[in-house]
A and B are shown apart, each in its own frame.
Chain A
Amino acid sequence: MTINIIRLPKNAFLNILKFSDIQSQLRLRQVSKSVQEFVDFSVLQLKKSIVKSFVCEEIFIAIKSPVQNAEIEAIQQILHSNHKKWRIEADTETGAMDIKVGMYAVKTKEDLGRNKRMITIKKIQH
């Protein structure tokens, strides 16, 4: 019996994703369609910052409110991996977020319901 990595039980694959850093998760999306779909689906299951979709110059992150430390960390990782200066401050009690990112404009939408907010980070300079 041959088992392809994409045939692993979902709980195992979810573990693998959780143990992988964000860059590895992104690269896994390039492995195959099945893996891409599973990664996109699975990150929605993770209770961390959710990287919903990536476009070259826009990053969309759905987060819970109040913001969790793990989510701040994940956003920091994303911005850090993009080799740009960033600074992020968040009040984990109230969910208030003051994001100052050198080359990025940050907008939040509060209308997603279920205590989720969408943060859009757009590159504004090149």
Chain B
Amino acid sequence: MVLITLVSSDEQNFPVERELLKQSGTIETLIVNMNLDDEDTDAAAMPIPLPNVKGDVLEKVIQWMEHHKGDPVKEGDNEDNNAEIVVPQWDDDFFKPAMYGSKHLELTVAASYLDIKNLLTLSCKAISNTFKGKTGPQIREEWGVPNEFTPEEEEAIRKENEWSE
């Protein structure tokens, strides 16, 4: 089994099975560019730095990739299947403890940076699921978004949306 070492922004090393890394478009490109698949290359001696991903987030990403090893990649931007995307129970349990906090958002940012399509899709779907049945102010409070509206603006936009309530 070939192991490739990923190095997080806080310089933690994570030896990861080569096969798992096929889920990440970004890492796959780096592996190709660094010739890490060549027989002559000592992949173990050439760690891949990931300066945009912290160690605790990278650990979660690897945990997710281990669980989803071998899964086919589902494209999230297919308009026809957006409604059909269901967050599986394992993923729901995986996301839930960090939901509404910066950890889940950091995981989403990492999925985007590392180009892990399935993780990005499920993570975004899990976030969108939290909006269901909530009002704007409730979403704002749950996700800690600062309120930039004046009371007048807030009232105006509430009236704009009144028809849909």
Residues of A within 8 A of B (CB): 1-9, 11-12, 15-24, 26-36, 46-48, 53-57, 59, 70, 78, 81-82
A-B contact pairs, 7 of them (CB 8 A): A3-B105, A27-B136, A28-B139, A54-B163, A56-B162, A57-B163, A81-B164
Are A20 and B131 within 8 A (Cβ)?
Answer: yes
Q: A24 to B113, alpha carbons, bound, how many Å?
A: 26
Q: A46 to B121, alpha carbons, bound, how many Å?
A: 16
Task: Tell me the count of chain B residues lying within 8 A, CB to CB, of chain A.
Answer: 48
Given contact pairs A54-B161, A56-B159, A18 touches B106 in the complex (Cβ within 8 A): no
B125 in contact (CB, < 8 A): yes
Residues of B within 8 A of A (CB): 54, 76-77, 79-80, 82, 85, 102, 105-106, 108-109, 111-113, 120-121, 123-125, 127-129, 131-132, 134-137, 139-140, 143-149, 153-154, 157-164
Q: How far is the CB of B165 from chain A (nearest CB, A)?
A: 8
Q: A59 to B146, alpha carbons, bound, how many Å?
A: 29
Closest to B138 in A: A27
Among all A-B residue pairs, the 9 with the closest Cβ atoms = A30-B136, A15-B124, A19-B128, A3-B105, A24-B131, A33-B148, A5-B143, A20-B128, A9-B112
Given contact pairs A31-B140, A33-B149, A12 touches B159 in the complex (Cβ within 8 A): no
* B149 neighbours in A (Cβ, 8 Å): 32-33
Q: How far is the CB of B151 from chain A (nearest CB, A)?
A: 13
Q: How far is the CB of B163 from chain A (nearest CB, A)?
A: 5
Are B132 and A24 within 8 A (Cβ)?
Answer: yes
Closest to B142 in A: A5
Candidate in A12, A31, A47 with the most chain B CB atoms within 10 angstroms: A31
Given contact pairs A9-B109, A19-B82, A31 touches B162 in the complex (Cβ within 8 A): no
* B105 neighbours in A (Cβ, 8 Å): 3-5, 7-8
Q: How far is the CB of A75 from chain B (nearest CB, A)?
A: 13
Are A27 and B135 within 8 A (Cβ)?
Answer: yes
Candidate in A1, A12, A21, A22 with the most chain B CB atoms within 10 angstroms: A12
Are A3 and B125 within 8 A (Cβ)?
Answer: no
Given contact pairs A1-B102, A23-B164, A48-B79, A31 touches B136 in the complex (Cβ within 8 A): yes
* A9 neighbours in B (Cβ, 8 Å): 109, 112-113
